[in-house]
Structure 1
Amino acid sequence: MATTGLPNWPWSNAEADALPPAERLAIDATRAWAAAARRGEPALLALRHLLSTEDAGAAAEPLDALLRTLAQHPLTVGCPLCPRLVGEEPALLLAMACAQRGPRREALAFLLRRLPPPQAYAATAAAIAFGCAFRRAGLRLGDPWSN
C-alpha cells in the first residue's frame, strides 16, 4: 500500500476532544508517556496509571514498547492539553487502528515511513499487542477510512 500522496490522512488536524473514546485514550496515553519522558520520569508508570482508569492497564507495556521504538527517531507528540492532533499523532493512530482491525501490512507500511525495516517490524508487533490488549478491555479503534 502506498502511503504517500494520500489526499487526506485520517485524523489530520483533528480536535482531540472530538476523537472517539478509544482513540482519545490512545492519544492521551501517548501524550502522558511523552510528557513523563520529557520530565525524566518513568514513562511506563504514566501509561499504566492512565490506561488502568479504563481497565486497559495490559496495554501499557505494548504501547511503551511501540513509543520507545518510535522515539529512537525524532517523534513529535502534543502536550497533554493540546487541542488538536499534532506531529506523528495522526499516523500513529492510523497504525494502531490498522494493527488492531486486521490490515497489519498497512500498519507496517505506515511505520516504515518513519523507521528502518527491523524497527518497523518490532513496532508493528508492539502495535498488534497494544490493539489486542485494547480490544480485551472493550476498546475498539475505529475504521480510519470510514469518514
Structure 2
Amino acid sequence: MMADIHNYKQSFERAIERIKENQVISEENKEIILNFKDYLLSEGIGLAKIGRYLCDLIKLSRMLRKTFSEADKEDLRHVVAELEQTNLAAETKKGFKIMLRKLYRFIRGVEEKGISVSKDEWIVIISILAFAFL
C-alpha cells in the first residue's frame, strides 16, 4: 500500500464534511453528491480525483442556485460560460467539465459508456458540454 503523502484521504473526508455542513447546498443536491461520490468510489476512481470533484460540486451548487435535477440547458450553459471567464488553468476548466458530464450521466442513470439513450436525455449533457473537448 502506498503512503498518502498528500493527505488525499483527509482532504476527501474534509470535503464530505464541508458538503454535509454547507447551508447553501440543498438537501437534494447533498444527497445527489453523496450518492455520486459512492458511485465514483465503486468505479475505482481515486480519492484525489473524487476530492477534486467534491470541491467542484460545491462550486457548481453555488453557481446554479437550484437543484441539479432542476437545471436545464440554459442553466448549464451559464455555468460553463461563467467558468470560461475565470482565470483558471485550461486543465482545471477541462476537469470541471468532465465532472459535470459524469454528474449528469449519473443523474440520468447512464452508467455505461456507449449506452444508447434518447435524444431528450442527452440534450442537457451533450449540447452544453460537447465543445469542451474541441
- TM-score w.r.t. the length of structure 1 is 0.34
- TM-score w.r.t. the length of structure 2 is 0.36
